C-alpha cells in the first residue's frame, strides 16, 4: 500500500499530512530572525505563562530528561532568552524564566509561523481553511487532554537541541 494513501481514494495519509504541517512550521522557524530549534521554541512557549520553572519541572513539561532540559536552558541562557533566579519556595532551587528578549523572540517566531501558515493555506478555499482550523483545534485539544496524565513523572527522550 502506498505510504501516502490512507485507503480513502488516494487522499494523503497521516504521515504525509503531518510532514506538510511540520515542514511549513520548521521552515518558518528556521527562517525567522531568531532561528530557534523546535525544542527551544517549545521551551519558550512553556515559559511564556510567566511562572518560573525548576529545570526538572520544565523537563517534565517538555517530555525530556532533566539533563537534556539543563543543556537546553544553558543554551537559552547564553542566547539571553531565559534567565535563572533563586526560587521563592526554596533558596536551594533555581527557577528558569523567560527574559524580555525571550518574549520578543517568541513573538517574532510565532508571527513567522502564522505568516507561513497563512501563505501555505492561501490557495485553499475559505471553507477548507475553516475546516483545517477546526480540525487542528480539535487535535490540539485532544492531545492536550491526552498528554496531561500520561506525561506526569515519566522521563522523556534525550534531546540535545
Beta pairing partners, 5: 12
Write the pLDDT tens digit of every residue in 135-147: 989 988 888 776 6
The CA distance from 12 to 58, in Å, is 35
Write the pLDDT tens digit of every residue in 1-46: 444 444 455 677 888 888 888 888 888 887 777 878 888 989 999 9
Three-class SS of 60-123: HHHCCCHHHHHHHHHHHHHCCCEEEEECCCCCCCEEEEECHHHHHHHHHHHHHHHHHHHHHHCC
DSSP secondary structure code for residue 53 in this structure: B
Centre a 10 Å sphere on the Cβ of residue 18 and count the other Cβ atoms it contains: 11
Domains of the chain: 1-31 (no CATH), 37-115+125-151 (1.10.10.10)
Q: Is the pTM of this model over 0.85?
A: no
Residue 86 three-state SS: strand
Write the pLDDT tens digit of every residue in 83-110: 998 877 777 788 999 999 999 999 999 8
The mean per-residue pLDDT over the stretch 120-141 comes to 92
Q: What pLDDT, on a 0 to 100 scale, did the predictor assign at position 3?
A: 44
Amino acid at each position: 500500500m502506498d505510504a501516502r494513501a490512507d485507503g480513502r481514494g488516494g487522499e494523503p495519509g497521516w504521515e504525509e499530512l503531518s510532514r506538510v504541517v511540520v515542514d511549513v512550521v520548521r521552515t518558518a522557524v528556521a527562517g525567522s530572525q531568531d532561528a530557534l530549534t523546535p525544542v527551544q521554541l517549545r521551551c519558550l512557549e512553556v515559559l511564556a505563562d510567566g511562572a518560573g520553572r525548576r529545570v526538572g519541572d520544565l523537563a517534565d513539561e517538555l517530555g525530556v530528561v532533566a539533563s537534556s532540559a539543563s543543556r537546553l536552558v544553558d543554551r537559552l541562557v547564553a542566547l539571553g532568552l531565559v534567565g535563572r533566579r533563586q526560587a521563592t519556595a526554596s533558596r536551594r532551587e533555581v527557577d528558569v524564566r523567560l527574559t524580555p528578549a525571550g518574549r520578543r523572540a517568541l513573538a517574532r517566531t510565532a508571527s513567522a509561523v502564522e505568516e507561513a501558515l497563512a501563505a501555505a493555506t492561501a490557495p485553499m478555499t475559505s471553507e477548507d481553511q475553516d475546516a483545517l482550523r477546526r480540525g487542528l483545534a480539535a487535535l490540539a485539544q485532544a492531545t492536550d487532554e491526552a498528554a496531561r496524565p500520561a506525561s506526569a513523572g515519566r522521563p522523556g527522550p534525550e534531546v540535545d537541541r
